[in-house]
Amino acid sequence: MKEDIKAILKLWGIIYPFAMAVILYITFLMIFFAEEKAAVITVNEYGEGVAEFLTIPIALVFAGLGQILLIKEAYPRK
């Protein structure tokens, strides 16, 4: 069970930062190719603000733990 959790955290440590980078790049491209070269990003327009406020930091913690596990696996102590 413990190894399953470690595997999930390692996977999250890879997928989450990659997904966030893709979302950021897509947002940039949409703004770059827009005529105004500007965008308005609203928070809590649909009532999602509190959920994002809670889930994003938790996801970042899991991604950080996954990165730590990956680094420890790549560079084991001697």
pLDDT at residue 9, as a whole number: 95
pLDDT in tens, 7-22: 999 999 999 999 999 9
Domain ranges of the chain: 2-74
**Calpha distance 67→70 (Å, rounded):** 5
- pTM here is 0.80
Burial class (CB in 10 A: 0-12, 13-18, 19+), 10: middle
pLDDT in tens, 64-76: 999 999 999 999 9
For 70-74, the CB contacts below 8 A with 24+ separation are 70/10, 70/13, 70/14, 73/10
pLDDT at residue 54, as a whole number: 95
